[in-house]
Amino acid sequence: MGVGSRIQERRRELDMSRSELANQVGITPSAIANYENSVSYPKKEILIALMATLQVDANYLYRDYLSDQMVRTLCDGMVPEREQESIDKYRKLSDAGKEVVNMVIDEEYQRLERHGWDHYPCWKPGERLKNTGFILQEHRHVLYVPEGSIPKEADFCFQIQIDRYEPVFKKYDIVALGRRPTGHNEMGVFYLNDACYIRRLYHVGGERILKALNVMDPDVRVTEEDDFRCFGTILGKVQGEYELRME
């Protein structure tokens, strides 16, 4: 059974029409028909969308004629190496061993999803720029915390990734932010001319100054010509138990 037949088989298992599958993936029903009849083959980004919509992985689509190693090579790192290593080990376990692993995973998942936990979008810095500037990562994580452990005004969180904010923040600290303007002498995450900064905002004689949180970086003055925005005001550090997961 080829890839097209596997797509068709799974679509029918989910009781989906070609039009329904096409709408969710963002292509035409005729394209789905071509894939299922092996007239054409989906591009990588469409293949990923198909697997997500059909709730299957590459092993399901290719299991009839590709080895696990060939699947990993073809998919070019779609599954992180550490996760693939865990999957490989899981497949070698006895049924009793798999049952133990499944029990642990189910318990951990239920712990995160149980009542009494809040969740917030959490961003991390991407490419580093000069003077502790950075570009935000395109993808985000989700932070799970016990209910009430973060100020109720918080809208999102941000994880520190360098040690140049000490002693105010340490590397890997997570801060909670509210989407409101930052006042005088308050800290926030700011956008200034294509770069983001974690700084303290000062209003001095009509000027706005982004004060560095360490002595190694210079302060930055904001002029009227600058493209300047406040992403959020820092409300405090996240304390105690939490779980950070990829969205």
Average pLDDT over residues 7-20: 92
pLDDT exceeding 70 applies to what percent of the chain? Answer: 89
Burial label, 85 (beta-carbon count in 10 A; 0-12, 13-18, 19+): exposed
Indicate the pLDDT class of residue 76, thresholds 50, 70 and 90.
low
Long-range contacts of 12-20 (CB under 8 A, 24+ apart): 14/54, 14/55
Instruction: Write out the two tokens for 124.
Output: 């991390």
CA–CA distance, 119 with 140 (Å, rounded to integer): 13
Indicate the pLDDT class of residue 13, thresholds 50, 70 and 90.
very high
pLDDT at 40 over 70: yes
List all residues 6 or more positions away from 8 whose beta carbon is below 8 Å from its beta carbon: 36
Indicate the pLDDT class of residue 68, thresholds 50, 70 and 90.
low
Amino acid identity at 6: R
| pLDDT (0 to 100) of residue 113 | 65
**In the chain, what is the straight-line distance between the N-terminal and C-terminal CA atoms, in Å?**
33
pLDDT at 121 over 80: yes
Cα dist. 198→24, 124, 210 in Å?
A: 38, 12, 9
Residue-wise pLDDT tens digits, 162-213:
888 888 899 899 999 999 989 999 999 999 988 899 999 999 888 999 999 8
| Domains of the chain by start residue, with CATH | 3-92 (1.10.260.40), 118-246 (2.10.109.10)
CA–CA distance, 15 with 20 (Å, rounded to integer): 10
Calculate the average pLDDT of the chain: 84
Amino acid identity at 133: G
